[in-house]
Structure formats: structure tokens, C-alpha cells
Structure 1
Amino acid sequence: MPDTTLPTSTHHPPGNDRPIRRRIAVDGRVRSGCLTCKARKKKCDGQSSSTDSRCKSCIRLGLVCEQRPLVRVPMRWRGKKTPRDESPPILSEGDGSFDHGSQITESGRDHGSTSVLRIRSLGQEPLSPLLGSQDDIERKLLKYFLQNVAPLCSLLEQGGNSWCSVFLPMAIIDPTLLRALYTYALTHFDACSSVNAVSPQARLTFENEVAQGVSNAITQNRVTESTVACALVFSTAVVTRGDTSSWLLHLLGAGHLVNHLGSQQLLRTSDGAFLLRYFAYHDIMAALSTGRRPGIEGVYWVQDAEETVDSADTFMGLAQHLFRHISDICVFVTDVADLDPLLEPERATREIERAEAIAYALRSQDLRLKIESKGKDVEPLVHHAEAVRSAALIHLYRHLLQLSDSRAEYEAFIEDEIGKIIHHVSSVPLNRFCELGLLFPLFMAGVACGNNTSTQEFVQSRLQYIETWTRFRHVTRARELLELLWGNGRMDWQNMLREINWQISLA
């Protein structure tokens, strides 16, 4: 009987080196590879071409191969952790990705100490391009607006709810307003990410649809509250993009629509009154920064100009009674723009008396609060209002310097108001939404401080903090203008704006 050699293993018979193929279940969720294959729910080969970095599947089908954005590796800080080191991840300055270790230095309350604090998290994951069908992209944009943009549109901690309660019901009926919200979301998305949310063509399509919708409403004589909302939202989106010219045209267009409907008609509804306050705030701040008269003068955004304040406003906070005087200052500045006190001394005397009356009214204006001013949410808003008061007085006193011989007196007034701004801004805790309203006070303090490096550093640090966590580019433009003034030893910011052909918003 011949010898028979038995195989040593039943699993691997000799002479058969072919690997065993195992069937892998695919549930439709691709966890690696390019984003294009992931959106198509196809397995990506992950083999990038050396010429254009596309995977073989995308090359074969002629598709754009979208790759994941690079994520910055966080630095590990040595030393003992503090409770602040446990804060959520944040957007890094360089690439829009989240960085667990990024920090910013902010001057302390004593205007001399320095403390390290974390930048507020927007609670997002790293941003990737929006892929999918048009409906999918629009749904993601609306979700992004509600979660990340709407909260930044108010001085109040829960102010995003006001935005949503006013604009969402309108947007359900008016697709043009919905496109305006998409545009605003795209603007902020792109500022937070190293990649564009959608293609430039898709962005342009949204913007054209907004412009066409507003134009049709005007030509067909069917302007409504939602038409005003479209113009205001689009103007704000262009402002936060860092635009230095066209935003003002959009705001002026919104003013024409407000005039068309009339303030009394808008005040009949809560949504109309909200839109009226929206326009009034941005119009007054734009008039201040561009040296023009407000589109509508007077106190038109409330029924009773002397009413007590029982709740903070989304845009003006608790400074509602101060904005009437800021509007008067804008009118005064426009009226004296062509005044030469040497050629017209009598007129100069009258205008100085007029300005002094405005200054007295602003200094003595009570906030007329009907609420407790020492609450956790109210106290920062009081400091915001007082900082706005001081900033408006600085703006007025700087123009009085050009008309009056009492320079030393007004310079002392200005120095005093700068100190008040530093105090009130330092009293507003970081990560409070009312920080968004501190751009105007910080800018005026930076303009008027001259060569005071301590104040310059405080203003620059706080502005950088605000622009880092909001990603609003108009804050960047204001800071860049200040740095240009400081670098050239100048204080004439309005002349500088004319020289570089900029129009900025301090809203």
C-alpha cells in the first residue's frame, strides 16, 4: 500500500497560494476617500493621480474630485491644565479648521494686565464643501444659517431666536428672502472655511435671484415687509463679506423700500417694527461712518420716543434712546462739512452752540430702563450702551475741535471719554454677544487715542478677538483702517477713507 501524506492543514491546501477573497458588506456609508465618491455612495480607490490629484474613479467619470480640507494639528501646551483649557474647539485663524489650542491675549480690566482667554466656539465640525442635489445644498445652508449666523445677528444672548421668528415665516412664503438667507450663510461659511461652500456660479445664481426678486416686487408695485427684509439681509451679508462700496448702495435701496411702505405702516405689526429698527440702526451707523445724512431723520422706529425700555433691542441693546442723538450728530456733521470758521464766524458760533446742545442732551440722556440693570444679562448691555454714548461724544467733539478755539477743553473731554470706553469695554465679559456692538466704541477710541500705544494695543486686541470668533470681515476692515492711521501717525480717518476710496460700516 503506497504511503499517503496527509495535508497539514485543512484550511491551506498545498499548491494553492491564491488568497482567499472575503466578501465585505458595504452599507452605503463610505468613511474614507474623496468627498465626491462619498457623496455618490461609491467606494473610492484612494489612488490619487500625480497630475491633478484626482482618484481613478473621478478621472474615469470626468468628475471634480473634492478632497477633505487639511486640519491643523493642535499644539499641546505644557504645564498644568486649567478649567479654561477644557473649552470646546475653535476655528483657527489660518485655515478655518478647528483648533483645540488656539488662544488670544486680551488686555485685562486694569488696562495694563494681560490674560490668556479662549476664543468662543461656534460649535461646528470642520467645514467641507456642500455636495449633493440643489435641495440638499439649500437645506444645509438654511441649517447653517440658523445654527451659526442667526445668533451673531443680535446683541442678545438669545437674539438669534428673534431673527428666526421674524424671517423664517416670511421666507416660507417668499423664496427671494430664502435666497437672501442662503447668500448670508454662504458669506459666513466661506469666511470660516478654507474651501468655498459652493461654486462661484451657484453663489452668483443665489445673488441674482435675490436682485431679480426685489426688482420684480418694485416694478409690479407689490413691495411688502419681506421685500424690505430681503434688501436688509442682503446688504448685511455684503457688509460682513468685507465689501467697501456696494453694501451702501444696497442699504440705500432698503431705505427707499422703507420710505415706500412708510414707518407708520411698518409699526402696525411686530415684524414691521423689527425691520424698522433693523434699518434705523444700520442707517444711522452707516451715516456716521460715511459722513452723510441718515436716510430717514428723526425718531421713527418707535411709536413713543419717550417710552421706557422694558426689554433690550436686538440691534440697539439698551441704547435705544441714545440713537436719536447719534442721528442728530450725523445731521450736524453733514451741515458743517463746508463751513470755514474763518470765513463765516457768525455761522460757526451758531453751529458750535447747536453742537453743545446736542452734546448736553446726549450726556444727560437717561437710558430710561424699566428693568433691573444689575442682572447677569443686563449689566453687559448697560456697559455697551455707555460705551456707545462715549463714542458718539468723541465723534462730536472731534468736529467741534475744527470749529472752536477752545481746543484744550475739547481735547480734555475726548481723553475723558476714551477712558470711559476702555472701562466699559473691559467690563463686558468676553464671549458675550453684545461684544458685536463694541466695534463703534473701539474704533472711535482707536482713532482719538493718537500715539497712545497702550490704548492702541487694547483696541487692536479686542477687535482681533471679535473678528476671530465672528468672522465678520467688516470688523477686519475697521481694524485695518486703524492700523493704517497709526502707522502714518494720522487721526483724520474720514480723509483717509476718501483717499483709499473705502466706505466702511461700524455696525
Structure 2
Amino acid sequence: MADPAPQTDQSDSQTAKRRIRKRTGTTRERTGCVTCRRRRLNFECIREEPRPAVVGKSTNGDASANPSAADTNTTLLATSSSTVLTVPSSNWTAPVLSLDPIASWPGTAGEGSGPASRRLLLRYYLQTLSTLLTSTLENNCFASVFLPMATESPMLLNAIIAHSSSHLSLRDKSYEVLALQSRSNALSSLAASLASTERDPELDLSCCLVLCSMESILGDTSKWYNHLVGASQIIRATSGTMYNDEELSAEQLGSFFNTFEGQWLKRNFAYHDVLHTVTMNTRPLISGYYWQSEDESVADSYFGLASRIIYLISEISVLNADMAEAAALFATEASKSPSPSSSTTATSPTVFGDDEAKIFEDPEIQHVPRKDIPQPETNGRSQTRSDFSSRAQQLENELQEWTPPECQDIHLKAMAETYRSAALIHLYRVLRRHLPDLTPALDRKLATPVKSIVEAVEKMPVRCLPETTLLFPLFMAGGETNNADQIRIIRQRMLDIVNYRHFHNVEVALTVLDELWRLRAGNTTPGNGQKRVDWIDVLARRRWRLALT
């Protein structure tokens, strides 16, 4: 029994010795490789400089197809040591549409009751059509603006139902009778509202814009313009500028349509108004940047991030109209006083000489004013050739220097870039029309934006949301290219939009381009000899008003 005691004393002494054992001093090493330090290696680490932490940004969702894209689209954060921090990257991907099958909408072709059909058509608009129309889900005003307003207005509700049934009729012919009935109800409601003394301008404007969109998607080539003109008259009547053709600014309309809904209505109208000036070769129904917003980084349902570009397109159309009016006035005055001296000295205000042609060809040379040539007065001010030149140069510089606002959706940014390129095409076409001496130089300039549009569209995935408004840049690029590969890409993308979204104005635009490409391949234009055919000639022959919205 005496043995355990000595063992306990021995154990306590060993424990005490372990506790009082001193450790040698160490110095904390903050440099070098952390792996080498932990393994206590005696040789010098040959690693490179300490690596920073990597925080990934959203890419186009195809990082596996393009590994270098992930490296170039990253933000590097410096760290206090050589340790590499693992930071999860963004998993954001662009939404892709999935269209509901027709079978999921039973009874809307006339089998159910009237109220049931209206409810189903309204649900189709909310779940399907409004998504097909918008370029962004975060600001889908087709649903967030029109539907709440429709709860206050049977007229607007009838217009939305007509729009919904009309689109369904494009997918299934059995809905055509229902679509005709719905459109008749919508037009009757609008006529009654316009004839009433108790009118709400925002509701009337909303109805006109819904019907304008409906007619253009149906592939109509005239009725959509009537609704657009009606919308412009509602805006002018509300703002007190019915008989005034001057520009409207955001300040002038500050007390009108200043609600969230009203701001969207102005942007909606501006989009249709500006693009119609391109195909109809005219000035806007309402000029000015009246839809300007304080925060242009918020994507619009129609033109996304390209609000400023839409305004510049309208300014190009105004320049086009001013040059045409100056040329017509000059021709009229020249015909009234035909004299040998005037015929040899007079010069058209829209025809540049050789020296000015060289100026346009060389971007490094500034435009030289030509004050020696008197010009006729247009719109109360003297339009000189130097004025046209400086305006065109200013528009070109602003378009070339413009960059889209920061946005997570890279496809929205790509769409804005295509609109910028399309605006440049519009500008060069206007100059080529009025300044034929500059055709070779302008044709060389046109090749760059055409190529940019084709490359951007080719990279955008099929059925992405911004695809809904690609018709304008696709059409502008298609009208200026003779390259077989570019024509194939443009044609295929337009067919994809027609077959999936069932927007028949895209089909009408493709019909115009197909005829244009065929005539150019034959190198002849009926009635014009060997003149280079343009899509303006095709539209004039068919007497079409083409909607590119």
C-alpha cells in the first residue's frame, strides 16, 4: 500500500518541470511565403511578389468559353500579407425568355364567357406580353405603369386587352375574331374619351401609345402613325403648345406628366417619335430633350441606357430637315432669277466643294467656316454651310465620345452601344444624302458602325431581354452592308425575333431589306437606271410607313 505515494510525488515533480520550462524568443516574420514558414524550410522562397485578393465581377455567363474574360473583368484588392484570400465571385446571369405555350391559355379564343376571357387576356399581358416588350425586368413599365393605371380607366384596360389578344392572334389564328372585337372596343373607348369634357391627359396618352405599339407589332404600315400623331397632339394640348412647333424642354413639361407614370409616358412617346423620323425622313413631331431624367443610369423599358442617344438621333433628324428645307428654298430662289451670273456663281447650301470634302475625310482637320457664300434664311435664321458642317461635326464627336452608364447587365450596355452605332449610321446617311460629293469618304466611315453592330448582336444571346429593341440597329446596319456574312447574321437574328416574339414589324422590316439586297445584287433600280438603291426607295415604292420600335 506504500507504493502509490512515491509514484504520485514523481508525477507531480515531472509536471512542475514541464510547466516551468522556458521557450526561446522568436521574431514574428511578416514577409516571405507562408507555406515555407510553416514548414520551417531553411532555403529562400523563390515565389513571386505577394498575390492580391481577387473579387470577381459579373461576366456574360460564358467564362468557360472565354477564360481570359474572368481575369480582365476583376477587381484587385491589396492585402497586408502574402496570404491569398478566397472571395466568392458574382453569379449574376442575364435572364432569358421562356414563352408560355398557347395550350396554357384555354378558352380565350371564344369558348369561355366574356369576363373570363378578359381575365385570361389580362393575365397573358402580365405574364407574357409585358415581358416580351421590355428590355429590363427591374423597370418593366409595361406592367408597373400601364396595369395600375388600367384599374382607374376602362378605356386603358380595353386597350391593354386589345394588345394582348392581338399578340395572341399572331401566335394562333383562332384568336383573330376575339382580337378584332377587342380592338373595336378599345377604339370606341378612346373616341368616347376624346369627345368627353372630363378627360385625363395621362390616360388618353397611355391609350394612344398602347394602340400605337399594338399596330406596329401587328405589322401595320400606316395606322400606328395615326396613334403617334394623336399622342403628340395630346402632349402639346396639355402643355399649351398645340400651335407651336418649337422644341419642348424638360422644364416646359415640368408641371405636366411629372408623375412616375407621366415620365414613362414621355419616354415611351419619344422612343416612337424619334425612330419614326429615321424611316419617314422627317423631323420629330415634338423636338427637344423633354424626357430627360436626372438619373440616366436607370434603364428604360424601351431604349435601356440609350436615353442620350435617342435625343442625338432626334437632333440628327432635325439637321436633316433643316438641310432639306435650305436646299429647297435655295432651288426656289434660283428658279425665280435665272441669270448667267447666278448660275455660275450660286452654290447649293447643301453641296460642299472639294476643299470641304477633304475636311470631312480628314478628322484631324478642323472645319473651316465658309462665310463667303450667302445662304437663304430658314426658320428665321441664316443657315450657312459652315453651320451645317459644325452641327454635324458636333453630333459626330458626341456620339463617338459617349459611353453607356455603369450597369450590371452587360447586354443592356451592348444594346446601348448598338444604338450609338446606329445613330452614327443615321448621321452619315444624312450627310451623304445632302452632300453627294462626300459619298466615298462617308461610305468608308459607315463600315465601322455597321461592323460594330453586327459583332455586338452576334455576342448577345438569343432571347435575352434587350433583344426586343434590336430592330432599329439591325435595320440600319442591314441597309448599309453588302457583306454576305453580315447579311446572314442580321437576317438570322431578325428571323429569330419574328419566330419567337412574333413581332411582325420585324418581318416587315426584313421584307424591305430582302428586296434591297436583291436589287443591289442585280445592280439596278427600277426607274432609276444605275443609281444605288436605298431602303428609302423601297419604302417609297411600297408606300409604307415602317415602324422600327
SS of equivalent to 1:336: helix
Query: Does residue 343 in structure 1 map to residue 348 in structure 2?
Result: yes
Distance 1:337 1:495 in 2: 17
User: Deviation per CA, 1:422-441, whole angstroms, max 9, x where unpaired?
Assistant: 12112222221101121111
Q: Is the 8 A contact 1:421 1:441 kept in 2?
A: yes
Q: Is the 8 A contact 1:156 1:317 kept in 2?
A: yes
Q: Displacement, 1:354? A: 2.2
Query: Does residue 426 in structure 1 map to residue 453 in structure 2?
Result: no
Distance 2:166 2:432 in 1: 40
343-352 or 384-393: bigger deviation: 343-352
For the aligned residue pairs, the C-alpha RMSD in angstroms reads 2.4
Q: Displacement, 1:495? A: 2.2
Q: Displacement, 1:491? A: 4.2
Using a 3 Å threshold, how does the CA distance of structure 1 residues 310 and 201 change in structure 2: closer, same or farther?
closer
Q: Displacement, 1:245? A: 0.7
Query: Does residue 384 in structure 1 map to residue 415 in structure 2?
Result: yes
Using a 3 Å threshold, how does the CA distance of structure 1 residues 176 and 428 change in structure 2: closer, same or farther?
same
163-172 or 292-301: bigger deviation: 163-172
SS of equivalent to 2:538: helix
User: Deviation per CA, 1:90-140, whole angstroms, max 9, x where unpaired?
Assistant: xxxxxxxxxxxxxxxxxx99xxxxxxxxx9531224366232222112111
Q: Which runs of 5+ in 2 are unaligned?
A: 1-64, 67-95, 240-252, 331-346, 352-372, 374-383, 521-531
User: Deviation per CA, 1:334-364, whole angstroms, max 9, x where unpaired?
Assistant: 2223537963345445423322221112212
Distance 2:124 2:388 in 1: 50
Partner of 2:393: 356
User: Deviation per CA, 1:191-231, whole angstroms, max 9, x where unpaired?
Assistant: 011322544762353233233233234xx152331111111
Return the TM-score normalized by structure 2. 0.65
Q: Displacement, 1:398? A: 1.7
User: Deviation per CA, 1:139-159, whole angstroms, max 9, x where unpaired?
Assistant: 111111111111122111354
Bigger Cα Rg: 2
| Superposition map of 1:18-417 within 5 A | 121-126=98-103, 129-160=109-140, 162-196=141-175, 198-199=177-178, 202-217=181-196, 220=197, 222-262=199-239, 263-303=253-293, 307-338=294-325, 339=327, 343-344=348-349, 345=351, 346=373, 347-367=384-404, 369=405, 371=406, 373=407, 375=408, 378-402=409-433, 403=435, 405-417=437-449
Q: Is the 8 A contact 1:266 1:273 kept in 2?
A: no
Q: Is the 8 A contact 2:238 2:256 kept in 1?
A: yes
Amino acid across the alignment from 1:473: H
Return the TM-score normalized by structure 1. 0.70
Query: Does residue 479 in structure 1 map to residue 510 in structure 2?
Result: yes
Partner of 1:497: 539
Amino acid across the alignment from 1:430: V
Q: Displacement, 1:472? A: 0.8
| Superposition map of 1:460-479 within 5 A | 460-479=491-510
Q: Displacement, 1:266? A: 3.6
Q: Displacement, 1:482? A: 0.3
Distance 2:261 2:348 in 1: 50
Distance 1:130 1:147 in 2: 20
Using a 3 Å threshold, how does the CA distance of structure 1 residues 120 and 468 change in structure 2: closer, same or farther?
farther
Using a 3 Å threshold, how does the CA distance of structure 1 residues 355 and 470 change in structure 2: closer, same or farther?
same
Q: Is the 8 A contact 2:297 2:305 kept in 1?
A: no
User: Deviation per CA, 1:257-315, whole angstroms, max 9, x where unpaired?
Assistant: 12222332344211111111111111111122211211211110125xxx453321112
Partner of 2:469: 437
Partner of 2:361: none
Amino acid across the alignment from 2:127: Q
Count residues in correspondence. Answer: 378
* Aligned structure 1 segments of 4 or more residues deviating by more than 3 angstroms: 157-160, 197-201, 340-350
SS of equivalent to 2:454: helix
Distance 1:248 1:454 in 2: 34
Amino acid across the alignment from 2:291: W
Amino acid across the alignment from 1:278: N
Q: Is the 8 A contact 1:225 1:272 kept in 2?
A: yes
Using a 3 Å threshold, how does the CA distance of structure 1 residues 174 and 288 change in structure 2: closer, same or farther?
same
User: Deviation per CA, 1:18-73, whole angstroms, max 9, x where unpaired?
Assistant: xxxxxxxxxxxxxxxxxxxxxxxxxxxxxxxxxxxxxxxxxxxxxxxxxxxxxxxx
